[in-house]
Structure 1
Protein backbone atom coordinates (compact mmCIF):
# COMPACT_ATOMS: atom_id res chain seq x y z
CA UNK A 1 0.00 0.00 0.00
CA UNK A 2 1.33 3.42 -0.96
CA UNK A 3 1.10 6.51 1.18
CA UNK A 4 -0.07 9.96 0.21
CA UNK A 5 1.91 11.54 -2.64
CA UNK A 6 4.59 14.03 -1.64
CA UNK A 7 3.60 17.64 -2.37
CA UNK A 8 6.31 19.99 -3.58
CA UNK A 9 6.58 23.54 -4.83
CA UNK A 10 9.41 25.89 -5.84
CA UNK A 11 10.81 29.13 -4.49
CA UNK A 12 11.07 31.55 -7.44
CA UNK A 13 12.21 34.51 -5.35
CA UNK A 14 15.72 34.14 -6.81
CA UNK A 15 14.31 34.54 -10.35
CA UNK A 16 12.45 37.87 -10.35
CA UNK A 17 12.73 38.29 -14.13
CA UNK A 18 12.08 34.66 -15.14
CA UNK A 19 10.65 34.15 -18.62
CA UNK A 20 9.07 30.85 -19.68
CA UNK A 21 8.84 30.25 -23.42
CA UNK A 22 6.79 27.58 -25.14
CA UNK A 23 7.71 26.96 -28.77
CA UNK A 24 5.88 24.77 -31.26
CA UNK A 25 6.55 23.48 -34.74
CA UNK A 26 3.75 21.94 -36.77
CA UNK A 27 4.41 19.96 -39.94
CA UNK A 28 1.81 20.65 -42.63
CA UNK A 29 3.58 19.12 -45.67
CA UNK A 30 6.34 16.56 -46.29
CA UNK A 31 8.84 19.40 -46.81
CA UNK A 32 8.05 20.50 -43.27
CA UNK A 33 9.26 17.15 -41.93
CA UNK A 34 12.67 17.76 -43.49
CA UNK A 35 12.71 21.27 -42.01
CA UNK A 36 11.85 19.84 -38.58
CA UNK A 37 14.68 17.31 -38.72
CA UNK A 38 17.18 20.06 -39.55
CA UNK A 39 15.80 22.39 -36.93
CA UNK A 40 15.88 19.66 -34.27
CA UNK A 41 19.61 19.16 -34.75
CA UNK A 42 20.21 22.91 -34.53
CA UNK A 43 18.14 23.27 -31.37
CA UNK A 44 19.88 20.33 -29.71
CA UNK A 45 23.28 21.90 -30.51
CA UNK A 46 22.13 25.27 -29.15
CA UNK A 47 20.94 23.71 -25.90
CA UNK A 48 24.19 21.73 -25.52
CA UNK A 49 26.15 24.99 -25.88
CA UNK A 50 24.33 26.25 -22.76
CA UNK A 51 23.58 29.83 -23.81
CA UNK A 52 23.89 32.38 -21.02
CA UNK A 53 20.55 32.71 -19.25
CA UNK A 54 18.99 29.40 -20.35
CA UNK A 55 18.06 27.70 -17.09
CA UNK A 56 16.27 24.62 -18.43
CA UNK A 57 14.98 23.10 -21.68
CA UNK A 58 12.37 20.38 -22.16
CA UNK A 59 11.11 18.78 -25.38
CA UNK A 60 7.34 18.43 -25.78
CA UNK A 61 5.11 16.44 -28.09
CA UNK A 62 1.66 17.81 -28.87
CA UNK A 63 0.88 15.17 -31.53
CA UNK A 64 2.43 13.27 -34.42
CA UNK A 65 2.90 16.41 -36.52
CA UNK A 66 3.15 19.01 -33.74
CA UNK A 67 6.22 19.12 -31.50
CA UNK A 68 7.75 21.76 -29.32
CA UNK A 69 9.74 22.74 -26.30
CA UNK A 70 9.55 24.68 -23.11
CA UNK A 71 12.46 26.83 -22.03
CA UNK A 72 13.11 28.74 -18.82
CA UNK A 73 15.25 31.88 -19.19
CA UNK A 74 16.76 33.95 -16.38
CA UNK A 75 15.45 37.17 -17.95
CA UNK A 76 14.20 38.71 -21.18
CA UNK A 77 17.61 40.25 -21.91
CA UNK A 78 19.38 36.87 -22.08
CA UNK A 79 16.57 35.42 -24.20
CA UNK A 80 16.80 38.36 -26.61
CA UNK A 81 20.59 38.06 -26.81
CA UNK A 82 20.20 34.41 -27.79
CA UNK A 83 17.50 35.08 -30.40
CA UNK A 84 19.60 37.81 -32.02
CA UNK A 85 22.70 35.60 -32.25
CA UNK A 86 23.61 32.71 -34.54
CA UNK A 87 22.23 30.23 -35.34
CA UNK A 88 18.81 31.51 -34.20
CA UNK A 89 18.96 34.74 -36.20
CA UNK A 90 19.64 32.91 -39.49
CA UNK A 91 17.03 30.23 -38.83
CA UNK A 92 14.33 32.83 -38.09
CA UNK A 93 15.22 34.91 -41.16
CA UNK A 94 15.14 31.83 -43.43
CA UNK A 95 11.91 30.54 -41.90
CA UNK A 96 10.25 33.93 -42.32
CA UNK A 97 11.05 33.77 -46.04
CA UNK A 98 9.96 30.12 -46.57
CA UNK A 99 8.22 28.02 -43.90
CA UNK A 100 8.92 24.84 -45.92
CA UNK A 101 5.45 23.44 -45.31
CA UNK A 102 5.37 24.03 -41.59
CA UNK A 103 4.07 26.39 -38.97
CA UNK A 104 5.81 27.84 -35.95
CA UNK A 105 4.63 29.56 -32.80
CA UNK A 106 5.93 30.74 -29.47
CA UNK A 107 4.34 32.03 -26.32
CA UNK A 108 6.33 33.81 -23.60
CA UNK A 109 5.22 34.24 -20.02
CA UNK A 110 6.97 36.45 -17.50
CA UNK A 111 6.30 38.76 -14.63
CA UNK A 112 6.12 41.61 -17.16
CA UNK A 113 3.27 39.95 -18.99
CA UNK A 114 2.59 37.44 -21.76
CA UNK A 115 3.05 37.55 -25.50
CA UNK A 116 2.74 35.27 -28.52
CA UNK A 117 3.52 34.95 -32.21
CA UNK A 118 2.10 32.42 -34.70
CA UNK A 119 3.59 31.99 -38.17
CA UNK A 120 2.05 29.73 -40.80
CA UNK A 121 -0.08 27.79 -38.34
CA UNK A 122 -3.07 26.09 -39.99
CA UNK A 123 -5.36 26.73 -37.03
CA UNK A 124 -5.28 28.71 -33.77
CA UNK A 125 -3.33 27.21 -30.88
CA UNK A 126 -2.48 28.26 -27.32
CA UNK A 127 -3.48 31.82 -26.49
CA UNK A 128 -4.83 32.12 -30.04
CA UNK A 129 -7.67 29.76 -29.10
CA UNK A 130 -9.44 32.52 -27.17
CA UNK A 131 -7.65 35.89 -27.51
CA UNK A 132 -8.45 38.18 -30.46
CA UNK A 133 -5.92 38.15 -33.28
CA UNK A 134 -3.63 41.15 -33.80
CA UNK A 135 -1.10 41.73 -36.57
CA UNK A 136 2.49 41.83 -35.20
CA UNK A 137 3.68 45.07 -36.77
CA UNK A 138 4.61 48.60 -35.72
CA UNK A 139 4.72 48.94 -31.94
CA UNK A 140 3.63 45.29 -31.67
CA UNK A 141 6.47 43.74 -33.74
CA UNK A 142 8.95 42.35 -31.16
CA UNK A 143 8.49 40.13 -28.14
CA UNK A 144 9.62 42.95 -25.86
CA UNK A 145 7.02 45.32 -27.35
CA UNK A 146 4.24 42.71 -27.10
CA UNK A 147 5.16 42.02 -23.46
CA UNK A 148 4.80 45.74 -22.70
CA UNK A 149 1.43 46.09 -24.47
Structure 2
Protein backbone atom coordinates (compact mmCIF):
# COMPACT_ATOMS: atom_id res chain seq x y z
CA UNK A 1 0.00 0.00 0.00
CA UNK A 2 1.33 3.42 -0.89
CA UNK A 3 2.10 5.80 2.00
CA UNK A 4 -0.40 8.42 0.77
CA UNK A 5 -3.12 5.73 0.48
CA UNK A 6 -2.44 4.66 4.07
CA UNK A 7 -2.78 8.29 5.14
CA UNK A 8 -6.18 8.50 3.44
CA UNK A 9 -7.54 5.46 5.29
CA UNK A 10 -6.52 6.71 8.75
CA UNK A 11 -9.22 8.29 10.82
CA UNK A 12 -8.69 11.88 11.81
CA UNK A 13 -8.49 12.36 15.55
CA UNK A 14 -10.13 15.35 17.17
CA UNK A 15 -10.47 16.75 20.65
CA UNK A 16 -12.54 19.59 22.06
CA UNK A 17 -11.76 23.11 23.19
CA UNK A 18 -13.60 23.58 26.47
CA UNK A 19 -12.05 26.97 27.24
CA UNK A 20 -15.38 28.65 26.49
CA UNK A 21 -17.10 26.50 29.14
CA UNK A 22 -15.08 26.93 32.35
CA UNK A 23 -18.08 26.11 34.55
CA UNK A 24 -19.27 23.07 32.55
CA UNK A 25 -21.18 20.39 34.48
CA UNK A 26 -21.76 16.91 33.06
CA UNK A 27 -24.58 14.88 34.58
CA UNK A 28 -25.35 11.21 34.06
CA UNK A 29 -28.82 10.11 35.17
CA UNK A 30 -30.26 6.63 35.33
CA UNK A 31 -33.69 5.13 35.88
CA UNK A 32 -33.90 1.43 36.68
CA UNK A 33 -37.21 -0.39 36.39
CA UNK A 34 -37.86 -3.34 38.71
CA UNK A 35 -41.60 -3.98 38.23
CA UNK A 36 -44.40 -3.42 35.74
CA UNK A 37 -45.53 -0.49 37.85
CA UNK A 38 -42.04 0.95 37.50
CA UNK A 39 -42.31 0.63 33.72
CA UNK A 40 -45.51 2.68 33.85
CA UNK A 41 -43.68 5.29 35.94
CA UNK A 42 -40.93 5.47 33.32
CA UNK A 43 -43.48 5.94 30.54
CA UNK A 44 -45.06 8.65 32.68
CA UNK A 45 -41.94 10.81 32.64
CA UNK A 46 -40.92 9.99 29.06
CA UNK A 47 -43.01 12.85 27.65
CA UNK A 48 -41.37 15.28 30.03
CA UNK A 49 -37.91 14.11 29.05
CA UNK A 50 -38.84 14.48 25.38
CA UNK A 51 -39.98 18.02 26.23
CA UNK A 52 -36.60 18.82 27.74
CA UNK A 53 -34.96 17.77 24.49
CA UNK A 54 -37.35 19.91 22.43
CA UNK A 55 -37.31 23.02 24.61
CA UNK A 56 -33.72 22.85 25.89
CA UNK A 57 -33.89 24.75 29.21
CA UNK A 58 -31.57 27.74 29.62
CA UNK A 59 -28.04 26.48 30.14
CA UNK A 60 -28.58 22.93 28.86
CA UNK A 61 -26.08 22.51 26.04
CA UNK A 62 -26.74 18.88 25.06
CA UNK A 63 -29.09 16.10 26.18
CA UNK A 64 -28.38 12.53 25.07
CA UNK A 65 -30.46 9.43 25.85
CA UNK A 66 -28.60 6.29 26.95
CA UNK A 67 -29.49 2.63 27.43
CA UNK A 68 -27.59 0.81 30.18
CA UNK A 69 -29.58 -2.43 29.97
CA UNK A 70 -33.01 -3.89 29.28
CA UNK A 71 -34.48 -2.37 32.43
CA UNK A 72 -32.03 0.51 32.91
CA UNK A 73 -32.16 3.69 30.84
CA UNK A 74 -30.75 7.12 31.34
CA UNK A 75 -29.31 10.26 29.89
CA UNK A 76 -26.21 12.39 29.80
CA UNK A 77 -26.55 16.15 29.98
CA UNK A 78 -24.00 18.91 29.54
CA UNK A 79 -24.87 22.12 31.40
CA UNK A 80 -23.20 25.49 30.93
CA UNK A 81 -22.88 25.92 34.70
CA UNK A 82 -24.18 24.67 38.03
CA UNK A 83 -26.50 27.66 38.41
CA UNK A 84 -28.39 26.75 35.20
CA UNK A 85 -28.67 23.14 36.32
CA UNK A 86 -29.96 24.16 39.76
CA UNK A 87 -32.50 26.56 38.25
CA UNK A 88 -33.85 23.72 36.12
CA UNK A 89 -33.97 21.18 38.96
CA UNK A 90 -35.88 23.61 41.17
CA UNK A 91 -38.49 24.37 38.52
CA UNK A 92 -41.33 22.40 36.96
CA UNK A 93 -41.44 19.78 35.51
CA UNK A 94 -38.30 18.46 37.25
CA UNK A 95 -39.45 19.47 40.72
CA UNK A 96 -42.77 17.67 40.21
CA UNK A 97 -41.09 14.45 39.01
CA UNK A 98 -38.66 14.37 41.88
CA UNK A 99 -41.35 15.04 44.51
CA UNK A 100 -43.59 12.32 43.06
CA UNK A 101 -40.71 9.86 42.87
CA UNK A 102 -39.78 10.56 46.49
CA UNK A 103 -43.33 9.97 47.69
CA UNK A 104 -43.94 6.76 45.77
CA UNK A 105 -41.03 4.46 46.56
CA UNK A 106 -43.26 1.43 46.04
CA UNK A 107 -43.30 2.10 42.30
CA UNK A 108 -40.63 -0.46 41.47
CA UNK A 109 -38.10 2.08 40.29
CA UNK A 110 -34.63 3.25 41.23
CA UNK A 111 -32.91 6.48 40.30
CA UNK A 112 -29.35 7.76 40.36
CA UNK A 113 -27.26 10.60 39.08
CA UNK A 114 -23.59 11.51 39.01
CA UNK A 115 -22.35 15.03 38.35
CA UNK A 116 -18.88 16.15 37.32
CA UNK A 117 -17.63 19.76 37.17
CA UNK A 118 -14.87 20.79 34.81
CA UNK A 119 -13.69 23.23 37.49
CA UNK A 120 -13.45 20.38 40.00
CA UNK A 121 -15.73 18.25 42.10
CA UNK A 122 -17.89 15.18 41.62
CA UNK A 123 -21.02 14.05 43.39
CA UNK A 124 -23.63 11.34 43.23
CA UNK A 125 -26.95 10.22 44.63
CA UNK A 126 -28.43 6.71 44.43
CA UNK A 127 -32.02 5.90 45.39
CA UNK A 128 -33.41 2.38 45.59
CA UNK A 129 -30.74 0.55 43.60
CA UNK A 130 -30.39 -3.16 44.35
CA UNK A 131 -26.58 -2.99 44.06
CA UNK A 132 -23.97 -0.25 43.82
CA UNK A 133 -23.11 1.26 40.43
CA UNK A 134 -20.76 3.97 39.23
CA UNK A 135 -18.87 5.82 41.93
CA UNK A 136 -20.67 3.79 44.61
CA UNK A 137 -18.86 0.65 43.45
CA UNK A 138 -15.58 1.85 44.93
CA UNK A 139 -16.20 4.91 47.09
CA UNK A 140 -17.56 4.72 50.62
CA UNK A 141 -21.17 5.65 51.12
CA UNK A 142 -22.47 8.68 52.97
CA UNK A 143 -26.09 9.44 53.88
CA UNK A 144 -27.45 12.56 52.15
CA UNK A 145 -28.57 14.46 55.25
CA UNK A 146 -28.29 18.09 56.25
CA UNK A 147 -26.32 20.20 53.79
CA UNK A 148 -25.28 16.99 52.02
CA UNK A 149 -28.86 16.77 50.65
CA UNK A 150 -28.00 19.23 47.85
CA UNK A 151 -25.91 18.53 44.80
CA UNK A 152 -24.05 21.83 45.31
CA UNK A 153 -22.87 20.82 48.78
CA UNK A 154 -21.92 17.32 47.67
CA UNK A 155 -19.86 18.83 44.83
CA UNK A 156 -18.00 20.94 47.39
CA UNK A 157 -17.01 17.79 49.24
Normalised-by-shorter TM-score class: over 0.9
How many angstroms apart in 1 are the aligned matches of 2:134 and 2:127?
Answer: 13
Q: Between Structure 1 and Structure 2, how many residues are aligned?
A: 149
Shift in Å, 1:28: 0.8
Unpaired runs of at least 5, structure 1: none
How many angstroms apart in 2 are the aligned matches of 1:73 and 1:15?
Answer: 9
Equivalent position to 1:105, from 90, 96, 112: 112
Moved over 4 A (4+): none
Unpaired runs of at least 5, structure 2: none
Structure number, greater radius of gyration: 2
TM-score by length of 2: 0.92
TM-score by length of 1: 0.97
What does residue range 5-84 of structure 1 map to in structure 2 within 5 Å? Answer: 5-84=11-90
How many angstroms apart in 2 are the aligned matches of 1:39 and 1:94?
Answer: 11
Shift in Å, 1:46: 2.0
How many angstroms apart in 2 are the aligned matches of 1:5 and 1:46?
Answer: 34
- CA offset digits 1:5-40 (Å, max 9, x no partner): 110000000000000000000001110000111111
Shift in Å, 1:146: 0.1
Equivalent position to 2:123, from 109, 115, 118: 115
